[in-house]
Amino acid sequence: MRIRLLPLATAAFCLPLFALAPAADARAGMGSSMGSRGSRTYTPPPRTSVAPNWTRPMDRSMTPRTPSYSSPAPESSFGRSAPAFGSSARPPFAMRHPFLTGLAGGFLGAGLFGMLSGHGFFSGFSGAGGGGGSFFGFIIQVLVVAFIINLIIKFWRKRSANNTSSGGTGSSGMFGAAGGASPFSNQPQQAPSQEVTLTPDDYSAFQQLLINIQAAWSAQDMMSLQRMATPEMVSYFNNQLSELTSRGARNIVSDVQFLRGDLSEAWREGTVTYATVALQYSAIDVTTDSMGNVLDGSKTERQTVTELWTFLRADGRGNWILSAIQQAG
């Protein structure tokens, strides 16, 4: 019994130590997918020979997801699509003119009452019941009522037309204000993209950025990171370095060697050019405490990493800077 309980006791004793240890992926980005890729932030990058498998979606990004407005219309109790609110579909006559519908129903009810009482359909409209005189009297009443109904319909149509032209009840109400601006103007606009061609100098810049960013990360040099990455990525790096410092740990990535790379896609949105490349590199990745004791990784064994880095550049101005890191499957 004691022999069986010994491994369990040892595991229970070591569990807190594993819980306090930093994650194995402690390089710049700490093995997560984060950043922005313009309008393609949530679109998986095309696979390459360096990264032939799936790419992990963004864990963190300041780019909001574009909502989908193509949801189907709600179903009615009869299984047919109910008309959408604010649609231009014209309601039935009974809903548009309830007074006229009620008036016609009154005449029909009077005729049915005459039939049920045995005096004929038209006798319900006369006080004496039956006879040719009551029939001609009914015809006159129908003509008079039809004339009045026609006047009322013309009046209501004219009133509805005036209200529509003044913006009171027409389709150009709240959603058509401000010169027809979209009610979803707060959502990101999908800028039209255009594929671009990179040069050997661009690929050399990507390799050098990989090495320089890892060096600045290891030195906790935020000023250098601000010159090589977008403000979004710098904020993520700062949070990760602060987390390591709060644990009393420090991550150092040294002797970075670029192995190979491959272009996934490059495109232009407006005046900004994006490029996503698959990078495979090896390095010494070690995390130590304040006394230099190894908490994770190794000071001698190299680690091989494959990631997809996205860079951006304003056309005609400045250099490439890092805008996203994604983990390859």
Q: What is the pLDDT of residue 153?
A: 78
What value does the mean pLDDT of the chain take?
74
- Is residue 213's pLDDT more than 90? yes
Residues 6 or more apart in contact with residue 38 via CB below 8 angstroms: 63, 191, 193, 267, 269, 272, 274, 312
CA distance 211 to 213: 6
Neighbours of 229 (CB within 10 A): 24
Q: What is the pLDDT of residue 179?
A: 38
CA distance 150 to 37: 63
Q: What is the pLDDT of residue 238?
A: 97
pLDDT tier for residue 21 given thresholds of 50, 70 and 90: very low
Domain ranges of the chain: 22-61+191-327, 93-161
- Is residue 263's pLDDT more than 90? yes
pLDDT tier for residue 59 given thresholds of 50, 70 and 90: very high
pTM over 0.85: no
Distances (CA, A) of 302 to 254, 256, 262, 292: 10, 9, 22, 18
pLDDT 10s digits, 74-90: 433 333 333 343 344 44
Q: Strand locations in the chain, DSSP E?
A: 34-35, 193-195, 249-269, 272-289, 294-297, 303-314, 321-327
Give the pair of three-digit tokens for residue 73. 């219309």
- Among 224, 247, 235, CA closest to 295: 247
pLDDT tier for residue 175 given thresholds of 50, 70 and 90: very low
pLDDT above 70 as % of the chain: 58
Q: What is the pLDDT of residue 86?
A: 39
pLDDT tier for residue 257 given thresholds of 50, 70 and 90: very high
- Is residue 276's pLDDT more than 50? yes
- Is residue 328's pLDDT more than 60? yes
Place of tokens 């006791």: 9
Right CATH number for 22-61+191-327 from 3.40.50.720, 3.40.720.10, 3.10.450.50, 3.10.450.240? Answer: 3.10.450.240
Q: What is the pLDDT of residue 192?
A: 56
pLDDT 10s digits, 120-139: 544 544 444 455 555 566 67
